[in-house]
A and B are shown apart, each in its own frame.
Chain A
């Protein structure tokens, strides 16, 4: 008896959750339906389903944006930035926690505090600095994907270190590392072979957050990338936002297309936050 009640309760909860999610995603529904409507149809009925499905705006958006080039650029920038951010921030955070000295504490606070600086106030000095660096070194910092990646590493530093720091303190016992040192492992090997695997859940989280951020970022690439062949997806989408005429249907089609990879990525990444990875390690 009680099990069947429990089961029914379970079904009820599932239904409630899905209903809630549908309400939650109502604005997303609006984006999708309007990516199929003409301007006049949008005007007549913004909230309803489209009268007929046409891929016109998807194809139009594809062509206008040079979607494949933009997609490739977004992919390069996101993947490389994320990998480097993961490597550098995990190393730094672990070293900060384990050394525990004043310098580490100071540098940690500096990293965290600069996360609070509104981007708009540093963008002009940053671009001027990039210009002088380019002049001084001959390296292309402006209008190059490499330069953009370089900037993302700097901007991603704070959040990465912060997240790793919290996790290392809470879930990585120093005793494990001690054992490895006794076996004669170097610091490098201890980090990559003992510590880094334990960091997996937080690594996945840091990756997800960085992917979402970099994939969608508009302002920074808009200031650094100017040539057509360097544009990322959000930048290419700016084409639909004219001064006096915004092509909402195309921009919504483009947006729908642009977020699908992120959702697929998220769905496949979240299963790596496997329960028990950390637990197994902590047991030892």
Chain B
């Protein structure tokens, strides 16, 4: 009998809890402003007054403490971002909440947050396709104090030319090479590279290593032949319209030749993960990998005993690496005027104050993208990128600016997987299949 009473008590409690839960116990919200507002709204049980509702629904309220939220795609620098947030609050009194999600889920989550009016104050946007999609959520940044020092080609702009995003950093990719094994000055064409692959194979070293992830398999490397065209944008348009087939263009045929050599001589890239790819390079089993300065942090655990750099992919004698901005900072135009201003104040601080630039250059390891800004402790790969920017000797990222949305993962990678798993597919077949991918994706 006693048991039953206890049981019914527990059940009553549970139902009570359900009602409580329904009332949204945001028990752990730290910012006193927002939790107070929530509590106020909750206690006004019937139709809450307009004001209170407004206050509760915005994460950063206009009254009381000032707070901004930042959501950015580079999970790797989360710890540093949090440290920076603390310093920023100490200096300015504005609290910064840093949101984080795994790198792969970033864009999907950002879209969902923005779409349900719960976006952060400041966020990052990666490709031009994404910028075009989110432009209605990106407020004009023309009044940032350092805006005229920005490199114009790296800014994100609205349809009418208003600046709505500023670059976070610059990244560059090409053949990341081991200076003991590979000498870029001796290899100036794809034919040289192919014969290099063949000779190295005899000594048990892989010449060029690719890995299975969509961008590392095809997205980045296919950029080079596009970027080498006189007018990449116009060229892409011709491909989409069916006026040109990439299989008939020399730069692409050279890439095809390289791919055939990789398929014939190297471990199947589909079997190589990014981690293995980097490990092979760090341990000297692979002379070059088609990667960018982002992979340097992966070497931290290895005893890397050689010097490295980034070399150009020598299609048509090319001597440039591909450099651009991986993302831009944007301020959420859905936020209140005041919050937007706080967001811009933060960006001003980040790019002009001593503490801010110290974080950017030394703690985040970002490559300087603003005139007059220099970094002394860049890692060797980022240094190569930085030097390339200074000299202007760079190729653009056409996959960001000119390719159809989502084409790398949904079309190009599958086609490339076919090439590497089917030895009967010739380079010509492969290039024609890629061309079909572009025509198809552009029509969607």
Whether A140 contacts B38 by the Cβ 8 Å rule is yes
B298 CB within 8 Å of chain A: yes
**A83 to chain B: which residues have CB within 8 Å?**
14, 17
Check A136–B275 contact: CB distance below 8 A: no
Which residues of A34-61 are within 8 A (CB) of B?
38-40, 42-44
Q: A135-B53, A144-B29 are in contact. Are A192 and B20 (CB under 8 A)?
A: no
The answer for the CA separation of A249 and B76 in the assembled complex, in Å, is: 15
Q: How many residue-residue contacts, CB under 8 A, span A and B?
A: 198
Q: Which of A123, A145, A227, A244 contacts B25 (CB 8 A)?
A: A145
Beyond A83-B14, A136-B53, A138-B53, 8 additional pairs, beta carbon < 8 A: A43-B279, A124-B115, A138-B57, A140-B42, A142-B118, A239-B102, A240-B102, A244-B295
B7 contacts A by Cβ under 8 Å:
yes
CB–CB A87/B42 < 8 A: no
**A interface list, Cβ under 8 A from B:** 38-40, 42-44, 64, 73, 80, 83-84, 86-88, 123-124, 127-128, 130-131, 134-147, 149-150, 153, 189, 192-193, 196-197, 222-223, 226-230, 235, 238-246, 248
- Asked if residues A229 and B28 are in contact (CB atoms below 8 Å), the reply is yes
B18 x A241 contact (CB < 8 A): no
B275 to chain A, nearest CB (A): 7
Provide a sorted-by-A list of 25 A–B residue pairs whose CB atoms are within 8 angstroms: A39-B300, A40-B303, A44-B283, A64-B79, A73-B28, A87-B11, A127-B115, A131-B117, A138-B48, A138-B53, A139-B24, A141-B24, A145-B25, A146-B20, A146-B23, A146-B24, A193-B4, A223-B113, A226-B113, A227-B99, A235-B101, A239-B75, A242-B75, A243-B75, A244-B274
CA distance A233 to B255 in the complex (A): 45
- Report the bound CA distance from A196 to B38 in whole Å: 37
List the B side residues contacting A193 at CB < 8 Å: 4, 7-8
CA distance A244 to B102 in the complex (A): 11
Contact B17 A80 (CB under 8 A): yes
- The closest CB in chain A to the CB of B19 belongs to A84
Report Cα–Cα, A143/B99, bound state, in Å: 11
B21 touches A227 (CB 8 A): no
Counting CB contacts under 8 A, is B264 at the interface? no
Asked whether, in the complex, the Cβ of A238 is within 8 Å of the Cβ of B25, the reply is no
Per-residue contact bits, chain B 276-307, to A (CB 8 Å; 1 contact, 0 not): 10010011000000000011011011110000
A130 CA to B115 CA, complexed, in Å: 11
With both chains docked as a complex, state the minimum distance between the C-beta of B274 and any C-beta of chain A, in angstroms.
8
Contact in complex: B275, A137 (CB < 8 Å): no
CB pair B275 A42 closer than 8 Å: yes
**What is the chain B residue whose CB lies nearest that of A86?**
B14
Instruction: Return the contact of A84 from the options B14, B71, B103, B301 (Cβ within 8 A).
Output: B14
Check B15–A147 contact: CB distance below 8 A: no
Q: Is the interface of B mostly helix, strand, loop or mixed?
A: helix
Give Cα distance in the complex from A226 to B67, angstroms: 14
The stretch among B104-112, B176-184, B418-426, B435-443 that forms the contact with chain A is B104-112
A91 to B42, CA, bound (A): 28
- Report B-chain residues with C-beta under 8 Å of the C-beta of A238: 75, 100-102, 105
* Identity of the chain B residue whose Cβ is nearest the Cβ of A246 in the assembled complex: B275
Please name all residues of chain A whose beta carbon is closer than 8 Å to the beta carbon of B112 when the two chains form the complex: 123-124, 127, 223
Q: Which of A134, A138, A153 has the most CB of B within 10 A?
A: A138
Q: Is B132 an interface residue (CB 8 A)?
A: no
- Beyond A242-B74, A242-B75, whether A143 also contacts B26 by CB under 8 A is yes
Least CB distance, A170 to chain B, in whole angstroms = 23
Q: Within the complex, which residue of A39, A87, A123, A228 is in contact with B275, where a contact is CB–CB below 8 Å?
A: A39
Bound CA–CA A146/B39 (angstroms): 13
State in angstroms the CA–CA spacing of A243 and B169 once bound together: 15
Establish whether residues B283 and A88, one from each chain, have CB atoms under 8 Å apart when the complex forms: no
Query: Does B265 have its Cβ within 8 Å of any Cβ on chain A?
Result: no
- Residues of B near A146 (CB, < 8 A) are 20-27
Measured in the bound complex, the distance between the Cα atoms of B15 and A243 in whole Å is 43
Task: State whether A131 touches B116 (Cβ < 8 A).
Answer: yes
Closest to B34 in A: A140
Asked whether B4 lies within 8 Å of A143 as measured between CB atoms, the reply is no
Inter-subunit contact A134/B56 (CB<8 Å): yes
Q: Is the CB of A239 within 8 A of B100?
A: yes
Closest residue on chain A to residue B38 by CB atoms: A140
Instruction: Give the CA-CA distance A235 to B118 in the complex, in Å.
Output: 18
Bound: A268/B28 CA distance, A = 30
The answer to whether B275 and A84 touch across the interface, beta carbons within 8 angstroms, is no
CA distance A214 to B93 in the complex (A): 38
Answer whether A144 and B7 are a contact pair too, CB < 8 Å, given A123-B112, A238-B101, A244-B295.
no
Shortest distance between the CB of B122 and any CB in chain A (Å): 13
Please provide the 9 A-B residue pairs with the shortest distance between their CB atoms, ordered closest to farther: A138-B41, A43-B279, A243-B103, A241-B102, A144-B26, A39-B301, A127-B116, A238-B102, A138-B48
Determine if A243 and B74 form an interchain contact, defined as CB atoms under 8 angstroms apart: yes
Nearest A-chain residue to B100, judged by Cβ: A239
Contact present for B38 and A143 (CB under 8 Å): no
Is residue B52 within 8 Å, beta carbon to beta carbon, of the partner chain?
Answer: yes
Q: Across the interface, do B53 and A87 meet the contact criterion of CB distance under 8 Å?
A: no
CB distance from B17 to the nearest CB of A (A): 6
> Do A150 and B116 form a contact, CB below 8 Å, given A39-B301, A243-B75, A244-B103?
no
Q: Is the CB of A40 within 8 A of B101?
A: no
Please give the distance in Å from A274's CB to the nearest CB on chain B: 15
Picked from B26, B30, B115, B120, the residue with its CB within 8 Å of the CB of A140 is: B26
Most chain A CB inside 10 Å of its own CB: which residue of B48, B71, B112: B112
Contacts of B7 in A (CB 8 A): 192-193, 196-197
| Alpha-carbon distance between A230 and B100 when the two chains are bound, in angstroms | 12
- The answer to whether A248 touches B24 (Cβ under 8 A) is no
CA A64 – CA B274 in complex, angstroms? 24
Question: How far, in angstroms, from A146 to B73 measured CA to CA in the complex?
Answer: 27
